[in-house]
Chains A and B, each alone.
Chain A
Amino acid sequence: GQQLNQSPQSMFIQEGEDVSMNCTSSSIFNTWLWYKQDPGEGPVLLIALYKAGELTSNGRLTAQFGITRKDSFLNISASIPSDVGIYFCAGHPLRYNTDKLIFGTGTRLQVFP
């Protein structure tokens, strides 16, 4: 099935550093979502974006819906150890016009103290 291209695949950073990850698609999306998955758990929604150009923050997290509607990025500022996990982008493709959600391949984040 279709997946979003997410990069980087993994990141190893020092506590306090900022993190940036992005997601791209060849087709247009209605919404962009960012999830975090902790080991042994299901994905948990972090941020939802609904309009092209929208920039939304949730604490130390900031995400943007790309102007072309084909990409999105997530930034984490001043990382802390509990930021460790896998981050997924996801979206509702325009062409489906349903609740069908397509997921990115994930970015595995490791934070060292």
Chain B
Amino acid sequence: DAGVIQSPRHEVTEMGQEVTLRCKPISGHNSLFWYRQTMMRGLELLIYFNNNVPIDDSGMPEDRFSAKMPNASFSTLKIQPSEPRDSAVYFCASTPLGRLSTFGSGTRLTVV
């Protein structure tokens, strides 16, 4: 089992550019979560999916952020246009039914 796979590990982009973060959950896990981690705000849940359907997106900061899960093995988090305050580490986590989350290694995003 390769665990939750996130790509890229690091992303540096210019303000205004579109950024796409990718996540491959563990096979068989039916829930997927996107988190953002910053020094100021800690770990925040942005959105989560259950069986590929978005259940709670109340943590998505604004319309510049969007997330999709087209199938059980892939999810994306997109920021368009990106801003310096979006700089953070973004984690994806997946969970089997009724069990506990496994986190990916994260994507460190820097917007300059």
Contacts and interface: CB of A to CB of B under 8 A. Distances in A.
Interface string A25-49: 0000000010000001111110010
Contact of B100 (A1, A3, A33, A106): A33
Contacts of B50: 99
A102 B101 CA distance: 12
A74 to B, nearest CB: 16
B55 A98 contact: yes
Contacts of B105: 40-42
A8 to B, nearest CB: 15
Among B43, B50, B56, B101, the one with the most A-chain Cβ atoms within 10 Å of its Cβ is B43
Among B4, B91, B100, the one with the most A-chain Cβ atoms within 10 Å of its Cβ is B100
A40 B104 CA distance: 11
A70 B44 CA distance: 20
B75 interface: no
B42 interface: yes
B101 A44 contact: no
| Chain B interface helix/strand/loop/mixed | strand
Which size class do A's interface residues fall under? 20 to 34
Contacts of B67: none
Nearest to B101: A101
Interface in B34-69: 42-45, 48, 50, 55-56, 58-59
A62 interface: no
Interface of B: 4, 31, 33, 42-45, 48, 50, 55-56, 58-59, 91, 93, 95, 100-106
27 contacts: A1-B58, A1-B59, A40-B105, A40-B106, A41-B105, A41-B106, A42-B4, A42-B93, A42-B103, A42-B104, A42-B105, A43-B43, A43-B103, A45-B100, A45-B102, A48-B100, A98-B56, A99-B31, A99-B33, A99-B48, A100-B56, A101-B45, A103-B42, A103-B44, A104-B42, A105-B42, A106-B43
